Amino acid sequence: MKKISLLLFLLLMLVACGSPYDSDGSVSASQSDHSHAFPKGDNVVEHEPEGYCGNTVTSVRYAPMGKVGEGWERSFWGGASVGLTDFLRWLDYSGEICRCLPEYYVKTEFASSEYGVNLSEGCVRFEGKQSQLTQEQLEWLKTTIENVAAGVGVELCSLPLAK
């Protein structure tokens, strides 16, 4: 009980100290001047095409802040895993991280850290940097993550489908 009280106290202090987030994880109204825009140009780094084995495993985790029990995690392989891995791997992560929190976390076999994905604002962060998505990239990523959540067009790795 003491630990819970301490955690609640710390959370209240964080909110009282001017955190840019509301209790549900959204950006507070006092921070509404923050916005995102689609990039004007290419946001993919130059790279040699690489082949991937179809048994490459990728995991997507949905972790909504302040919504206990509504999260999920799916691990999958096959074409969707290869496509998502290749897409995230070669984005240009040269931008500074904004205050928007990730909604999804993606773990691939080719990175030691997770990718933080915010579909609401169209950005992806990785290892302390961020990439703003083009509208086309955002639409593709939304569709891909929706398909993963529903188990449509992906080879799930023995995990239950989204609720």
Domain membership flag for residue 19: no
Residue 8 domain-assigned (yes or no): no
Structural domains of the chain, count: 1
In a domain, 102, yes or no: yes
Position 67 in a domain: yes
Query: Is residue 103 included in any domain, yes or no?
Result: yes
Query: What are the tens digits of pLDDT across the range 69-81?
Result: 889 999 988 888 8
Inside any domain, residue 75: yes
pTM: 0.69
Domain limits at 83?
A: 43-156
pLDDT of residue 152: 81
For the stretch 7-62, pLDDT in tens is 444 444 444 333 444 544 444 444 445 555 555 667 665 646 565 555 688 999 99
14 in a structural domain = no
Residue 146 inside a domain? The answer is yes
109 contacts 57 by C-beta, under 8 angstroms? yes
